[in-house]
Structure 1
Amino acid sequence: MASSSYKSKTVQLIKCFCGCSDMTVEEVQRIYTLTNSVQQTLLDGDARRLLHRYLELHRSGDKNEVEQYLDVYEKCDEYLQEDQRTFTQDEIDELCDLGLPFDLEQDLTRRTRNGQRTEINLGLNRIQGKCRNEIEASSNFKEFRNAILAKMRRGTK
């Protein structure tokens, strides 16, 4: 009985503003709600990917600072998930290649010399906080949020 009612439902899809995929109205609304908080946006994989795609499409030339901060944030997230792995200078170099600011590189290098994973994780969390603040302060994030809102308005008409 439940399957027959399911068949009768129509799912409205909205073409993502960047053209990358079709999204349901509910998914667009969910991501728009997340954009009330940069932190919530960055914690959600789908919203973070959408932000990444938006930034890529609106880039002219090299990655801008916001894209670099997003890359560094994501790499730190990856390192934080790999708790058993030894953290070395190679990981710091990788973060630097992505755009890690010098002061944060120095802090993380100092913490790495200590060798304690809790200290390294605190450094990675500190880097993520700085990245989040920079993304939040940027006009790019506000433009991303406005693009989602505009897409919602067009899609629900």
Structure 2
Amino acid sequence: MATAACKGAAKRLLRCFCGCMEMTEDEVQRIYRLSTQATLIDRQATKLLRSYLQLKRSGDKSEAEQFLDIYEKCGEYATQENCGILTLDELDELCDLGLPYHMEKELKLVIQTGECSNIERCLLRIQGECRNEIEASQEYKDYKSAILDKLRNKV
């Protein structure tokens, strides 16, 4: 029995940068049109961005990749059941990911207050700064260009 997908015209699939997944041209166009914020919220778009950053890495992680790691880790911490209360060990984990000193200092002060809502707001501010840094990076601009090239060349 033919499925609805088989009855329609065949859709061309485009490979992820590392080749780990295939996406339709429509999916790639959708990801291309996403804002930086929407990219960081969309699981598939984030996976594609990470794939691109890893592929282009030579040696240590780029700043954009470090900010992506920090962004995601802050998101994990902000949604924890313990209401965003962080330990100094979790702060150290963020620092190991590349958390800039001014953000570390601010977060450490907020952690010491133990106030859940202040910790969550600080994590959101850090995510906002990370998003801005990613958006301003040359790697992100190159990523958007690479997606456009995929669409033009259909590879």
TM-score (norm 1): 0.90
Tell me the residue number matched to 1:137.
136
Alpha-carbon offset, residue 31 of structure 1: 0.5
Tell me the residue number matched to 2:47.
49
Inter-partner Cα distance in structure 1 for 2:107 and 2:22: 40
Q: Which SS does the other structure have where 2:61 is aligned?
A: coil
Moved over 3 A (4+): 3-6
Q: State the AA in 2 paired with 1:12.
A: R
Note the residue ranges of structure 1 that are not aligned, 5 or more in a row.
Answer: none
Inter-partner Cα distance in structure 2 for 1:102 and 1:59: 24
Tell me the residue number matched to 2:101.
102
Inter-partner Cα distance in structure 1 for 2:62 and 2:76: 21
TM-score (norm 2): 0.91
Inter-partner Cα distance in structure 1 for 2:132 and 2:54: 20
Inter-partner Cα distance in structure 2 for 1:92 and 1:71: 13
Inter-partner Cα distance in structure 2 for 1:6 and 1:20: 22
Note the residue ranges of structure 2 that are not aligned, 5 or more in a row.
Answer: none
Tell me the residue number matched to 1:68.
66
Tell me the residue number matched to 1:32.
32
Cα gap change, 1:90 to 1:4, in 2 (>3 Å): closer
CA RMSD of aligned residues (A): 1.8
Cα-to-partner distance string for 1:69-93 (whole Å, 9 max, x where unaligned):
1100010011111142642111100
Q: State the AA in 2 paired with 1:143.
A: D
Q: Which SS does the other structure have where 1:23 is aligned?
A: strand
Tell me the residue number matched to 1:93.
92
In the comparison of the two structures, how many residue pairs are matched? 153
Alpha-carbon offset, residue 19 of structure 1: 2.0
Cα gap change, 1:7 to 1:19, in 2 (>3 Å): closer
Report if the CA contact (8 A) 1:17-1:148 is conserved.
no
Alpha-carbon offset, residue 14 of structure 1: 1.2
Inter-partner Cα distance in structure 2 for 1:94 and 1:81: 16
Alpha-carbon offset, residue 56 of structure 1: 0.6
The answer on 1:19 being equivalent to 2:36 is: no
Report if the CA contact (8 A) 1:75-1:95 is conserved.
yes
